[in-house]
Amino acid sequence: MWDREGFLENDHLKLRYLEKGKGEPVILLHGFGDSAEVWEFVLPYLEGPFRFIALDQRGHGKSDRVPLERYTTFDFVSDVEALRKRLNLGRLILIGHSMGGRNAIVYSSSYPKAVEKLVVIDYAPELSERGRKRILSALRTRPDRFHLHDMAEALREENPRITYEKALSYLKKITRPGDDGLFEWLCDVRLIHKMREGKKVLRDVNLWDFLPNLRMPTLFIRGEESDLVEREVLEKVALLLPKVHVVEVPRAGHAVPLDNPEETAQAINRFLFIQFH
């Protein structure tokens, strides 16, 4: 599906990215525990001409792991800026889901002249306690090593919106096989361990502080059935920012690009082709 695979160095670590297409650059930032490949669910429905660049964020996919103290939001943001400079991108469109959405907000606020448009998928300055507890509960039941088919069944039980086949396809993008036939997570498992312990991981900034600097057209996409992002929070965001659009994708929870990739892409396509003045 991808045209090219590339690597760059930043902060003494190697980062990997995937590219597809030609045209205006669009950087894609995945969520926690995911990898660049998860965008393969959405890409077939995204319209061009765009140059899509999916980054394996630090500690994920085939990018390097770092000491735990170097997983701050600003570390992730520095990787995005390093990618932009490495590829000489100039202005770009930035799309992020979940953790990637948080990083996209902070990047866009820190480098507003570099971002033409911003898309944030199922993330917000405030997250529902109910959704956070569900995610934590799921993480606590997931072993570090497992049979792939067993984990696919578990994901299907957690998220009835996806089929067993899609759960299996998703897992193959975010895991790797061991020598004994068991699979393990591609992301830095120490981050999962910290979350299981109830430690505050990755959420180290107050996003409300960064919103006023989002001067570019911005789209917030919420899964209509999301238990993590509440509609009322996005309504507050829309009151703060004049160039914000809010869209809900039906038949989708927090994993919007996985649950309903076609309508997620349709929302993105409409937004990218709107002419703002």
pLDDT in tens for each of the 277 residues of the chain? 999 999 999 999 999 999 999 999 999 999 999 999 999 999 999 998 999 999 999 999 999 999 999 999 999 999 999 999 999 999 999 999 999 999 999 999 999 999 999 999 999 999 999 999 999 899 888 999 999 999 999 999 999 999 999 999 999 999 999 989 999 999 999 999 998 887 777 879 999 999 999 999 999 999 999 999 999 999 999 999 989 999 999 999 999 999 999 999 999 999 998 865 4
Residue whose entry in the numeric block shows the structure tokens 């002249």: 113
Q: How many angstroms separate the CA atoms of 249 and 220, rounded?
A: 11
Q: Which residues of 236-272 are buried (b: 16+ CB within 10 A; e: fewer)?
A: ebeeebeebbebbbeebbbbbbbbbbebbbbbbeebb
Q: Is beta strand 92-97 parallel, antiparallel or unpaired with respect to 24-29? A: parallel
Residue 163 CB contacts under 8 Å (≥ 6 apart), including other chains: 156
Determine the 3-state secondary structure of 222 from DSSP: strand
Q: How many angstroms separate the CA atoms of 169 and 154, rounded?
A: 14
DSSP structure string for 144-163: SEE-HHHHHHHHHHH-TTS-
DSSP structure string for 169-183: HHHHHHEEE-TTS-E
Q: Is 78 exposed, middle or buried (0-12, 13-18, 19+ CB in 10 A)?
A: middle
**Contact assessment for residue 83 and residue 17, using Cβ atoms and an 8 Å cutoff:** yes
Tens-place pLDDT, residues 71-106 = 999 999 999 999 999 999 999 999 999 999 999 999
**Contact assessment for residue 174 and residue 189, using Cβ atoms and an 8 Å cutoff:** no
Dihedral angle over CA of 262, 264, 266, 272, nearest 10: -140
Structure tokens at 135: 């995610």
**Contact assessment for residue 27 and residue 84, using Cβ atoms and an 8 Å cutoff:** yes
The packing angle between helices 99-110 and 73-86, to 10°, is: 70
Q: Which domains does the chain have, with CATH numbers?
A: 4-128+202-272 (3.40.50.1820)
